[in-house]
């Protein structure tokens, strides 16, 4: 039986590669070679996107045999879903499997910045413990309010961790959740949340509506003691406005797992600020979770190639053939 032709962009974990290789002829190329996606797509039936390249109308128009696209990530702001649907190509992301790992990292950023764990470690390494210099003091979580913007599966998992630390949970979504009583979380309008929260956790997906949602106006509405934690996508926060708010102490602290630009250059002015912590987009980066994501994306590719519905499909209207 001849094998399916599948293009893989970027680095893919060995578990997913072996699963694909059983049934597919894989086209891959080294990162340091020019991007060959368009050329290779001319013959491809499947596309495994491991490098977050932009998938748009022009690319799909040049891929007449493409029947499925999958990406090992929950976010898909790099994918033009309407274009995939026009071309009747199901697109699979990987929600669910990364919820707990991403919630751990998100809450970890909140806890680490509040308690200055990273600063304490720097302080020890710099030999300051023995010199008796003042410790970098943090702030309590207990009795504080966390405001979650984008209360989906990850937000709910962050809320549980915050509640275990004695925090009150408020949230903002387009609409209140019907299960909010069960979640012990209270709905607020966006403006109310900005004014009330001690810690604001951003988990909203990047859309045209959420792009730049946190800018100068929003920072002015926040408490001067507020912490901002962004674990969604960098462009949801206006980087220049954040720099201004942190450097003038309009807000107290920021902890980011995502940045704009991303990666953030090592000489970026933001990195000189003392009241900031950045991790390199590692929300789901555990061995177990990244493997589950890669295997789910591979499974979606194989199902799509076999003309079967994907396990997790964003454009469900083309998931049945
Ligand atoms: C990570 O950012 C993801 O979207 O899975």
CA dist., res. 247 & res. 241, Å (int): 10
pLDDT recorded at residue 25? 97
Exposure letters 10-26 (e unless 16+ CB within 10 A, then b): eebbeebbebbeebbeb
Atom number, ligand 1, closest to the C-alpha of residue 232: 2
Q: Name residues contacting ligand 1 (CB within 6 A).
A: 73-75, 98, 283-284
pLDDT digits (tens, 9 = 90+) for 8-28: 999 999 999 999 999 999 999
Instruction: Indicate if the pLDDT at residue 204 is higher than 90.
Output: yes
Question: Mean pLDDT across the stretch 140-159?
Answer: 98
DSSP 47-79: EEE-S---B-HHHHHT-TT--EEE-SSS--TTB
Atom number, ligand 1, closest to the C-alpha of residue 72: 5
SS3 call for 316: helix
Confidence of residue 67 (pLDDT cuts 50, 70, 90): very high
pLDDT recorded at residue 35? 80
3-state helix, strand, coil in the chain (%, to 5): 35, 15, 45
CA angle 116/117/118 to nearest 5° reads 95
Q: Exposed, middle or buried: residue 223 (CB in 10 Å: 0-12, 13-18, 19+)?
A: middle
Q: First and final CA of the chain: distance in angstroms?
A: 22
CB neighbours of residue 142 within 10 Å: 7
pLDDT recorded at residue 250? 98
User: Is the dihedral angle over the CA atoms 220, 223, 224, 229 positive or is it negative?
Assistant: negative
CA dist., res. 3 & res. 82, Å (int): 29
Q: Which of 92, 102, 258 to mutate to test the pocket of ligand 1 (most atoms within 8 A of CB)?
A: 102
pLDDT recorded at residue 131? 86
Whether residue 23 contacts residue 3, with contact meaning beta carbons closer than 8 Å, is answered with yes
pLDDT recorded at residue 52? 82
Whether residue 195 contacts residue 221, with contact meaning beta carbons closer than 8 Å, is answered with yes
Q: Which of 96, 98, 296 to mutate to test the pocket of ligand 1 (most atoms within 8 A of CB)?
A: 98
Distances (CA, A) of 259 to 131, 205, 230, 262: 35, 14, 8, 5
Instruction: Indicate if the pLDDT at residue 295 is higher than 80.
Output: yes
- Where in the chain are the domains? 4-96+288-318, 99-278
pLDDT digits (tens, 9 = 90+) for 220-265: 999 999 999 999 999 999 999 999 999 999 999 999 999 999 999 9
pLDDT recorded at residue 34? 76
pLDDT recorded at residue 321? 61
Q: Residues 40, 116, 188, 281: which is the catalytic one?
A: 281
- Rounded distance from Cα 143 to ligand 1 centre (Å): 30
Instruction: Indicate if the pLDDT at residue 156 is higher than 90.
Output: yes
Whether residue 229 contacts residue 251, with contact meaning beta carbons closer than 8 Å, is answered with no
CA dist., res. 116 & res. 140, Å (int): 11
- Topology of 4-96+288-318 in CATH? Rossmann fold (3.40.50)
- Is it true that 4-96+288-318 and 99-278 share their CATH fold? yes
- Whether 281 is catalytic is yes
Residue 107 per-residue DSSP state: H
Instruction: Indicate if the pLDDT at residue 32 is higher than 90.
Output: no
Tell me which residue has its CA closest to atom 5 in ligand 1: 73
Tell me which residue has its CA closest to atom 3 in ligand 1: 73
Which class in CATH covers the domain with range 99-278?
alpha beta
Q: Which two tokens stand for residue 87?
A: 């071309």
């Amino acid at each position: 039986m001849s094998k399916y032709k599948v293009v893989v962009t970027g680095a893919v974990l060995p578990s997913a590669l072996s699963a694909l290789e059983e049934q597919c002829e894989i086209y891959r190329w080294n990162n340091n070679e020019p991007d060959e996606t368009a050329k290779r797509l001319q013959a491809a039936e499947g596309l495994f996107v491991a490098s977050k390249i932009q998938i748009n109308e022009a690319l799909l128009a040049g891929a007449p045999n493409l029947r499925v696209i999958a990406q090992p990530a929950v976010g898909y702001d790099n994918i033009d879903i309407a274009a995939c649907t026009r071309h009747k190509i199901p697109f699979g992301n990987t929600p669910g499997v990364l919820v707990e790992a991403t919630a751990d990292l998100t809450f970890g950023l909140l806890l680490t910045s509040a308690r200055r764990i990273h600063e304490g470690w720097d302080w020890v390494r710099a030999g300051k413990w023995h010199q008796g210099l003042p410790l970098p003091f943090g702030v309590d979580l207990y009795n504080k309010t966390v405001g979650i913007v984008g209360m989906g599966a990850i937000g709910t998992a962050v809320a549980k961790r915050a509640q275990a630390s004695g925090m009150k949970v408020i949230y903002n979504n387009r609409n209140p959740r019907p299960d909010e009583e069960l979640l012990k979380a209270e709905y607020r309008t966006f403006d109310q949340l900005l004014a009330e929260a001690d810690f604001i956790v951003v988990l909203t997906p990047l859309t045209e509506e959420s792009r730049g949602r946190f800018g100068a106006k929003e920072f002015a509405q926040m408490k001067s003691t507020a912490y901002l934690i962004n674990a969604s996508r960098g462009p949801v926060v206006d980087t220049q406005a954040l720099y201004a708010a942190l450097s003038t102490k309009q807000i107290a602290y920021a902890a980011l797992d995502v940045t704009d630009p991303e990666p953030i250059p090592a000489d970026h002015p933001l990195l000189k600020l003392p009241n900031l912590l950045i991790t390199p987009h590692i929300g789901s980066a555990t061995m177990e979770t990244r493997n589950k994501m890669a295997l789910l994306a591979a499974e979606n590719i194989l199902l799509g190639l076999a003309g079967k519905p994907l396990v997790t499909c964003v454009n469900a209207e083309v998931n049945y053939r």
